[in-house]
Amino acid sequence: MDLNDKYVLLTGASGGIGQEIALALEVKGARLILVARDKEKLEQIRYSMAKPDRHDVLAADLLTAQGREVVNSYAKEQLRKNKQISALINNAGSNQFQFLAQRSAESIEREMQLNLMTPIALSQSALGWLKRPGVILNIGSTLGSIGYPGYTAYCASKAGLHRFSEALDRELDGAAIRVLYLAPRTTETELNSPRVVELNQKLGNRSDSPQVVAEHVVQMLEQETAAKWIGWPEKLFARINQVFPRLVSGSIRKQQETIHYFINHSSN
């Protein structure tokens, strides 16, 4: 897709990765619709962009049907105004690093809703308003390919998002809408609490800046790459886990003591 002058609706636009995606897409000439709950923060981001007037903000709580309807109505209005949206980026997401036994049922539901059910619902409504040719890009995670202790619900939601993207892309074959999936590894944003950052340092896990993720987003949209995993050796582990999961279980077993320590004893 040539991004110049295309309307792109981006959820999670006020987050660490979302902000960088917005800036990178602006450089390519795209017109952004920035979506998140905090309108003030979205406006600050819009005014930090080179041409704020070319972009718009939309406050919506995507955990609620009402919030998703705000997005849907806005997109349909764009269609009526001949400003049809060409790309939807499902980037809003959240996680909690905790053992399943310690979590409330509500927090698990919210995580599954925001990370999986919301992108499915927005993709479904986008079939009614997305311009053709159009693109839906779902932001997943390495943890969608590797089950990891402390992230059970998050792994499940991102694995689901991966399969959803693959299935819908195949379902829409020939319908001029591509559905893409990007799996970043650990990225330096506020999604990761200080104890997760410390754990990653202790385990020697590499991380990327949000700018790196944004560059991949631009490339994927331009080249319409079906799926991509960021980072080495994470993309290799993702493959090994499919074929030889016991090997990956073996290396995670060696990390268990450290993981338990950070979940149970770290205060932040």
Ligand X SMILES: NC(=O)c1ccc[n+]([C@@H]2O[C@H](COP(=O)([O-])OP(=O)(O)OC[C@H]3O[C@@H](n4cnc5c(N)ncnc54)[C@H](OP(=O)(O)O)[C@@H]3O)[C@@H](O)[C@H]2O)c1
**Residue 57 in the binding site for ligand X (CB under 6 A):** no
**Residue 37 in the binding site for ligand X (CB under 6 A):** yes
From the list 4, 190, 265, 268, which residue makes contact with ligand X (rule: CB under 6 A)? 190
Is 191 or 252 the residue whose CB approaches ligand X more closely? 191
- Residue 263's CB is within 10 A of a number of other CB atoms, namely 17
**Least separation, in Å, of the C-beta of 227 and ligand X?**
14
- Cα-based angle 61, 214, 237 (whole degrees, multiple of 5): 100
**Residue 106 in the binding site for ligand X (CB under 6 A):** no
The size of the interface with ligand X (CB under 6 A), counted in residues, is 28
**Least separation, in Å, of the C-beta of 76 and ligand X?**
19
How far, in Å, CA of 127 to CA of 137, rounded? 13
Reading the block at residue 73, the tokens are 């109505």
Length of the chain as a residue count: 268
**Residue 16 in the binding site for ligand X (CB under 6 A):** yes
From the list 114, 117, 137, 199, which residue makes contact with ligand X (rule: CB under 6 A)? 114
How far, in Å, CA of 268 to CA of 196, rounded? 9
Strand-strand pairing, 227-229 and 31-36: unpaired
Largest CA distance in the chain: 57
Provide the binding-site residues for ligand X, judged by CB under 6 A. 12-18, 36-38, 41, 61-63, 91-94, 114, 139, 141, 184, 186-187, 189-192
